[in-house]
Amino acid sequence: MTKNAEVAKVLKEISLYLEFEGKEPFKIRAYQRAVRSISSLGEDVASIAERGELTTIAGIGKGIAEVITDYLNDGQVTGLEELRTRVPIKIMELDAIPGVGPKTIKLVYDKLGVIDLESLEAAANEGRLAGLPGLGAKTEAQIKEGIRVARSGLGRTLLANALSVAEDIKKSLNQISGITQIIIAGSVRRRRETIGDIDILVSASDPKAVMDSFVSHRDVSSVTAHGQTKSSVRLTSGIQVDLRILPEDSFGAGLQYFTGNIDHNVHLRSIAQKKGLLLNEYGLFKGEKKVAGGAEADIYSTLGLKLIPPELREDTGEIEAAQSGNLPSLIELKDIRGDLHSHTDQSDGKNTIEEMLDAAQAKGYDYYCVSDHTQSLTISNGMDEARLLKRIEEIDDLNASGRWKMTILKGAEVDILSAGELDIKDEVLAELDFVTVSIHSRMKDDKKTMTDRVCHALESKYVHLLGHPTGRLLLKRPEFEIDIDAVFESARKNKVVMELNAHPQRLDLNAGNLRKATKNGLKIAINTDAHYTTELDNMQFGVFQARRGWLTKNDVINTYPLKKLMSTITK
Ligand SMILES: [Zn+2]
Ligand SMILES: [Zn+2]
């Protein structure tokens, strides 16, 4: 596993302390920039440090490079340790609460002695926040809600993080001889958006060697169990990993047991029971005799079911569909022919348009849409009409140059303003191939205002896609208040496509909304919203989520050949 997440976390903590202490804004911004840049590196920051090239990373100057080196060498940063001693608060835990930032943290620390989530919750429940300068009853209620959101995310991690950790452990275990099977099971295999812990199943001739290697993996911070058939560890990142060794002839049964959620497994066991069989983690039994167990597919087929894709195993209709032969033929990553939402350094992206196009071409795409932000997003250097018109000419030239085999589509991610107006004039929108509209401001609007705003924006005949429709950031920011059914209805009427944003922290729409949208006849676009070339890799997370939402290739417009795509979006 790379050190990137850990280093980004340390830099983030420093930036929070700087803000807490009211230090110079440029210094705080430098750390914030460094956090973003390290989080999206395509390479391990430790390898870059080894080559002495930290300052070649965008946003990393000499000072921050020294901090990173300090941390990589000793596992701590002297200055940060001093700050933690002087102000002993759980600043990262508090900052993770939606609606709480360093300024609030400073206020509640100074006035109420709040040092962590628990003491903040106590203060909020006792109504002590509302009396503080600048904090009314409304803010107190928002903080309470934020605490609830933060609590539900405690101990969870994004699928993308869990998957990379799990793959790394799998790779190192695979070097042990005598391993016949190794599969990452549990909610990672179901591709849930966030993960509580990681389950790895192994079949091996030398279980002891596997367990010894597992508990001594370099990322392990503590070992909670170390046995012959099961071991558990906690990693430095806080994630718990369980490893189980299964006999070869029970591997399929174990895999089934440790993949489906409780509801799916209970339902399956009841089907077994009706057939006079017993299903458990060791196999499917008729009396004493094991009738299936080595292969997962045999468990399902003996129960009269088609093999159910892991992503669906949550008892939301997949068992009935498998019984009647109506399981959907789920979309796969290889079906994707292009990406319809991406940024460049013309707005808040970090790479040039040429670099993004090279990276998209390397994915083998047939088309790629460049969609930078528009003018009201000043913080992201959004484009006004004049710049957009220039961009359109530039893309015509790039297409004509023949340097890229794919078609470059002219797009924009247009801001939806306070009453649902768009911040670019119609005559310029008309020049674009693909127009995305998104909410980036006033995210705390009440439900009716937000719904009216979005529905009004979708009425424009130039709009093709609603970007990240719920605005959530997993483990960080809840969805905004919106009547999603009304939005779907408006989209259907106005022939607007819904985005499944593939960023691992967004992934809106969620699985339930995806099923509802396609049931209502809506089409979906799975887009990375990439701000860096490396973020084009996030497409896989969008496809995982699409599969959880039962989507087939036909539901997703960016699996279509270009001609079909364009005719589908034409109004
Ligand atoms: Zn956006
Ligand atoms: Zn975007």
The alpha carbon of 343 and the centre of ligand 1 are apart by a number of angstroms equal to 10
Average confidence (pLDDT) over 223-229? 91
pLDDT of 427-470, one tens digit each?
999 999 999 999 999 999 999 999 999 999 999 999 999 999 99
3-state secondary structure of 390: helix
Which ligand gives the minimal distance to the CA of 349?
2
The alpha carbon of 410 and the centre of ligand 2 are apart by a number of angstroms equal to 14
Mark whether 357 and 441 lie in a shared domain: yes
Which ligand gives the minimal distance to the CA of 535?
2
**Where do we find the tokens 């946003």?**
59
The alpha carbon of 541 and the centre of ligand 1 are apart by a number of angstroms equal to 17
Write the CATH number for 495: 3.20.20.140
Which ligand gives the minimal distance to the CA of 377?
1
Stretch among 33-37, 59-63, 338-342, 566-570 having the lowest mean pLDDT: 33-37
The alpha carbon of 23 and the centre of ligand 2 are apart by a number of angstroms equal to 31
> Per the structure block, which two tokens stand in for 221?
């911070």
Which ligand gives the minimal distance to the CA of 471?
1
Which ligand gives the minimal distance to the CA of 339?
2
The alpha carbon of 506 and the centre of ligand 1 are apart by a number of angstroms equal to 10
The alpha carbon of 12 and the centre of ligand 2 are apart by a number of angstroms equal to 23
3-state secondary structure of 58: coil
Mark whether 339 and 307 lie in a shared domain: no
On whether residue 328 sits in a domain, the answer given is: no
pLDDT of residue 551: 98
Percent over 90 (pLDDT), the chain:
83
pLDDT of residue 131: 86
The alpha carbon of 413 and the centre of ligand 1 are apart by a number of angstroms equal to 7
On whether residue 149 sits in a domain, the answer given is: yes
Strand 240-245 with 230-235, pairing: antiparallel
The alpha carbon of 467 and the centre of ligand 1 are apart by a number of angstroms equal to 6
Residue of 190, 191, 173 lying closest to 182 (CA atoms): 173
Domain that holds residue 266: 251-323
**How sure is the predictor about 237, in pLDDT bands with cuts at 50, 70 and 90?**
confident
Write the CATH number for 275: 3.30.210.10
- Residue 152 pLDDT > 80: no
Stretch among 63-72, 79-88, 413-422 having the lowest mean pLDDT: 79-88
Average confidence (pLDDT) over 218-233? 90
Which ligand gives the minimal distance to the CA of 466?
1
Mark whether 318 and 344 lie in a shared domain: no
- Residue 33 pLDDT > 90: no
The alpha carbon of 50 and the centre of ligand 1 are apart by a number of angstroms equal to 36
Q: Which amino acid is at 234?
A: R
pLDDT of residue 52: 93
On whether residue 377 sits in a domain, the answer given is: yes
Strand order in the sheet with 283-286: 278-280, 283-286, 289-292
Average confidence (pLDDT) over 55-78? 92
Within the chain, what is the greatest distance between any pair of CA atoms? Answer: 77
Asked if 506 contacts 551 with a C-beta cutoff of 8 angstroms, the reply is no
Mark whether 318 and 434 lie in a shared domain: no
pLDDT of residue 139: 87
83: burial class by Cβ within 10 Å (0-12, 13-18, 19+)? buried
* C-alpha dist (Å) from residue 387 to 374, 381, 393, 412: 9, 11, 10, 11
Distance, CA of 304 to CA of 274 (rounded, Å) = 12
On whether residue 420 sits in a domain, the answer given is: yes
On whether residue 360 sits in a domain, the answer given is: yes
Query: DSSP string of 451-472?
Result: HHHHHHHHTSTT--EE-STT--
Mark whether 516 and 450 lie in a shared domain: yes
Q: How many domains does the chain have?
A: 4
Write the CATH number for 220: 3.30.460.10
Count of other CB atoms within 10 angstroms of residue 208: 10
Final residue in a domain of this structure, among 105, 133, 153? 153
On whether residue 236 sits in a domain, the answer given is: yes
Mark whether 275 and 193 lie in a shared domain: no
The alpha carbon of 67 and the centre of ligand 2 are apart by a number of angstroms equal to 31
pLDDT of residue 524: 98
The alpha carbon of 469 and the centre of ligand 2 are apart by a number of angstroms equal to 12
Write the CATH number for 57: 1.10.150.110
Say what the pTM is: 0.81
pLDDT of residue 340: 98
The alpha carbon of 445 and the centre of ligand 1 are apart by a number of angstroms equal to 17
Give how far the C-alpha of residue 37 lies from the chain's centroid of Cα atoms, to the nearest Å. 17
pLDDT of 275-307, one tens digit each?
999 999 999 999 999 999 999 999 999 999 999
**How sure is the predictor about 156, in pLDDT bands with cuts at 50, 70 and 90?**
confident
The alpha carbon of 481 and the centre of ligand 1 are apart by a number of angstroms equal to 17
On whether residue 173 sits in a domain, the answer given is: yes
pLDDT of 473-495, one tens digit each?
998 888 999 999 999 999 999 99
Average confidence (pLDDT) over 368-375? 97
H helix or E strand, kind and range, residue 384 = none
Mark whether 503 and 539 lie in a shared domain: yes
pLDDT of 104-147, one tens digit each?
999 999 999 999 999 999 999 999 998 898 888 888 988 888 88
**How sure is the predictor about 196, in pLDDT bands with cuts at 50, 70 and 90?**
confident
Instruction: Indicate if the alpha-carbon torsion angle 77, 83, 85, 88 is positive or negative.
Output: negative
Convert 29-56 into a string of H (helix), E (strand) and C (coil).
Answer: HHHHHHHHHHHCCCCCHHHHHHCCCHHH
Mark whether 284 and 375 lie in a shared domain: no
Query: Of residues 40 and 59, which shows the higher confidence score?
Result: 59
Final residue in a domain of this structure, among 153, 173, 204? 153
Asked if 267 contacts 298 with a C-beta cutoff of 8 angstroms, the reply is no
Which ligand gives the minimal distance to the CA of 341?
2
pLDDT of residue 134: 85
- Residue 153 pLDDT > 70: no
The alpha carbon of 217 and the centre of ligand 1 are apart by a number of angstroms equal to 39
> Per the structure block, which two tokens stand in for 224?
């909670």
The alpha carbon of 250 and the centre of ligand 1 are apart by a number of angstroms equal to 47
- Residue 341 pLDDT > 70: yes
What mean pLDDT, rounded, does the chain reach?
94
On whether residue 394 sits in a domain, the answer given is: yes
**How sure is the predictor about 183, in pLDDT bands with cuts at 50, 70 and 90?**
very high
Distance, CA of 220 to CA of 214 (rounded, Å) = 9
Distance, CA of 356 to CA of 368 (rounded, Å) = 9
Mark whether 381 and 524 lie in a shared domain: yes
**Where do we find the tokens 């440790």?**
258
Mark whether 393 and 429 lie in a shared domain: yes
Mark whether 12 and 48 lie in a shared domain: yes
pLDDT of 501-552, one tens digit each?
999 999 999 999 999 999 999 999 999 999 999 999 999 999 999 999 999 9
**How sure is the predictor about 1, in pLDDT bands with cuts at 50, 70 and 90?**
low
Mark whether 402 and 543 lie in a shared domain: yes
The alpha carbon of 349 and the centre of ligand 2 are apart by a number of angstroms equal to 9
Final residue in a domain of this structure, among 99, 131, 153? 153
pLDDT of residue 467: 98
pLDDT of 400-411, one tens digit each?
999 999 999 999
